[in-house]
Structure 1
């Protein structure tokens, strides 16, 4: 929520109740998806210890269905409401960031046989939109903010200092795309 408020400041947005509500809804829904992802991963341990989490109580398939049919679509709607309220420049920046993120995920699929999951933990997978929300979208908004107020550059640098691990991982993966060791799916025998 704090990052969203800083980003709004960088974009020169007035904080309307609709925007705060959209951010709050998105944060709640994204947080619930993360909690349920974690509970699915811990299901065996939770059942052994008789811990009554949502997943232990209602089952893995009900949880996955609830996330896929209800929580994730609502999360996407809340994110769309946030982005739309940033104006045409924000929408363009968010769309450009989404295309870059999609390219990263396609590259991971193509080179590393990774899949994107919404809630069910699997080997060789990444959580849908995790890096979009945490890296691509904030960077897009902050770069856009620099054009409005050059002091936003300080926030961009602070973001890089506070959250370097995910950015390093993305850069390392992109560098591996050029490594001949990782053959694209289309060239495999």
Structure 2
């Protein structure tokens, strides 16, 4: 029995990853969204709240994790960040294993992993898909977000593997600097090509 082909989807902030992920879902590809799972596990009643509160007192409440409070505690503190990751990553890995079991008969699945290269997740996928757009397009998209500043954007970019390096390491690059229809056509062509193999 062959396991599903695992596509790893990634891209820097503002590159249109969520839009492209939905295009795969629209084609019937089951998707595991790592960020969505973290939000669920840390949201109201989330399974990780007791452990996070024990490690970081005052960082959770009725609405789940207070992202600002927790972020302030771990953002510039590698030791505390490692503690948080030690709580979150095993829980996400368990949910991902359950997802793979549930979709073991699917020909293809998609892992939406924003920090695919930064956190080493690329070793767990069969085909790396990077979404990319021109730097000016990326900048316009991100700076149009509420509460985003140039300083914040540049700090985020500094933490991410540069787009050019992601493109080099990709098996496929999806261009999101073009029309949605053209991007969708690239996604459809990729799924057709990989399905034929």
The structure having more radius of gyration, on CA atoms, is 1
TM above 0.5, yes or no, is no
Q: Could you say which structure has the higher helix fraction?
A: 1
TM-score (norm: length of structure 1): 0.31
Q: Could you say which structure has the higher strand fraction?
A: 2
